[in-house]
Amino acid sequence: MKAKDEKLLLWTLPNRLCIIRILFIPLIIIFIEREYVAFILFILAGITDGLDGFVARRFQLTSKLGLYLDPIADKLLVSSVLIALTYYHRIPLWITILLVCREFIINGLRSFYAIEGITIYPSFTGKLKTALQIVGISCILLDNKLTNLIGLYVIYCALFFSIYSAINYITAIFRPRAEELK
């Protein structure tokens, strides 16, 4: 792909959906005490996550910007709402710290390798972790005893997959290659 072609793909529908997801964040935080409003906004933002990937693949609208913007939008959305829910004592602080720190570490490694021209693609467990976080946070946003309990259990599952996928990323990145050992 030529640089000129990349400029044409800058504002594709998938990239616009990522931007919309980012713009939803302040609205969700503002309305976090109005459970159903925050829940609906968060669900809509979560839908844009699946939709942008589907549209990008289906209509061949992938771009370098989208490759980096999509995970950043996901991390901003999830981390911001986790932090807000922790502030309102609906998610334990230690869970939020572990989940957010994992995102910084993995995105930092991705950025470092991107500078070197190496792209690290999301793993299945990383995508599963994100899906579980979205489901868990959605349940907690509804703020009643049953949905909070379900949401916390789902967040615990997300935490497990978060740590598991982080270990897989880190070991894959730092595993010596056979060629380097010779």
- Provide the CA 12 distance to its chain's centre, in angstroms: 20
Domain membership of residue 52 (yes or no) is: yes
Domain membership of residue 175 (yes or no) is: no
Q: Identify the pLDDT of residue 66.
A: 85
Domain membership of residue 11 (yes or no) is: yes
How does pLDDT run across 111-156, given as a tens digit for each residue? 888 788 877 777 899 889 989 999 999 999 998 999 999 999 999 9
Domain membership of residue 176 (yes or no) is: no
Domain membership of residue 160 (yes or no) is: yes
Q: What is the domain count for the chain?
A: 1
Domain membership of residue 138 (yes or no) is: yes
Q: Identify the pLDDT of residue 7.
A: 55
Spatial neighbors of 89 by CB under 8 A, at least 6 apart, are none
Domain membership of residue 136 (yes or no) is: yes
Q: Identify the pLDDT of residue 99.
A: 97
How does pLDDT run across 159-176, given as a tens digit for each residue? 999 999 999 888 887 776
For residue 39, the domain's CATH number is 1.20.120.1760
Range of the domain at 89: 7-170
Report how far residue 182's alpha carbon sits from residue 180's, in angstroms, rounded to the nearest whole number: 6
Q: What does residue 14 show for φ and ψ, rounded to 5 degrees? A: -60, -40
The pLDDT of residue 3 is above 60? no
Q: How confident is the model at residue 1 (pLDDT cuts 50, 70, 90)?
A: very low
Domain membership of residue 180 (yes or no) is: no
- Residue 92 DSSP symbol: -
**Comparing 53 with 4, which gets the higher pLDDT?**
53
